[in-house]
């Protein structure tokens, strides 16, 4: 099984040595919506489930507001192992993990992918800025991809709570598109 193969992966020597476990993903295998984040944080590394810390709780709340339960959504990260100190994953780590993510997407066959933050958005769209691509449905390799802000950015606040407002709008659009 793909998940078992992933759990045994040691392609990134540092991450394989420092992780508690590989965070494969969560949610139903027939989910219409797949949410893609960057990499596990401390709570995810401990529990083995993506987006269960503060960012995850915000994600769950905004999805619920839009009318979709988190349990109906599949959630994965572009990098499956926690980078020490939550540093941004290196290009090499993202490249190492890319084939796993590709296989997950092939198995999941979502109707829509929502990417949270620049890392996940660039995974699909290449080098870009979030401001240029967010809130718009892009077609990438026959897949619909809707980039938005990372919940961590929304939690940090910023000018007039812009990231929170946009994240809420974009998740509401995502729910409409898969309903």
Answer for which of 6, 12, 15, 55 binds ligand URA (CB under 6 A) is 55
* 3-class DSSP assignment, residue 85: helix
Cα 30–Cα 15–Cα 55 angle in degrees, nearest 5: 55
Q: State the CB neighbour count (10 A cutoff) for residue 71.
A: 11
If one asks whether residue 120 binds ligand SF4 (CB under 6 A), the answer comes out as no
Residues sharing a CB contact under 8 Å with residue 48, sequence separation 6 or more, in sequence order: 20, 21, 22, 23, 24
Positions 64 through 83 that interact with ligand URA (CB under 6 A)? 77
Q: Could you give phi then psi for residue 158, rounded to 5 degrees?
A: 95, 180
If one asks whether residue 37 binds ligand URA (CB under 6 A), the answer comes out as yes
How far is Cα 143 from Cα 160, in angstroms, rounded to an integer?
A: 33
Residue number with CB closer to ligand URA (53 or 110): 53
Query: In Å, how far are 4, 153, 163 from 159, measured between CA atoms?
Result: 43, 11, 8
Give the shortest CB-115-to-ligand URA separation in angstroms: 10
Residue number with CB closer to ligand URA (55 or 122): 55
Query: Taking CB within 5 to 8 Å according to partner kind, which of ligand URA, ligand SF4, none is near residue 170?
Result: none
If one asks whether residue 9 binds ligand SF4 (CB under 6 A), the answer comes out as yes
Query: Taking CB within 5 to 8 Å according to partner kind, which of ligand URA, ligand SF4, none is near residue 6?
Result: ligand SF4
Q: Which residues make up the interface to ligand URA (CB under 6 A)? A: 37-41, 44, 50-51, 53, 55-56, 77
């Amino acid at each position: 099984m793909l998940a078992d193969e992933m759990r045994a992966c040691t392609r990134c020597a540092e991450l394989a040595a420092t992780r508690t476990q590989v965070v494969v993903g969560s949610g139903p295998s027939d989910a219409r919506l797949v949410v893609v984040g960057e990499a596990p944080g401390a709570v995810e590394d401990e529990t083995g489930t993506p987006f269960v810390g503060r960012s995850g709780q915000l994600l769950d709340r905004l999805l619920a507001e839009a009318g979709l339960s988190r349990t109906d959504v599949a959630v994965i990260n572009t990098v499956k192992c926690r980078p020490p100190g939550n540093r941004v994953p290196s290009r090499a780590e993202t490249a190492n993990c890319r084939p796993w993510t590709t296989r997950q997407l092939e198995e999941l066959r979502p109707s829509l992918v929502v990417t949270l933050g620049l890392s996940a958005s660039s995974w699909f769209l290449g080098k870009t800025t979030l401001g240029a691509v967010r809130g718009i449905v892009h077609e990438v390799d026959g897949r619909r991809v809707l980039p938005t802000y990372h919940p961590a950015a929304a939690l940090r606040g910023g000018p007039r709570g812009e990231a929170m407002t946009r994240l809420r709008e974009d998740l509401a659009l995502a729910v409409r598109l898969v309903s």
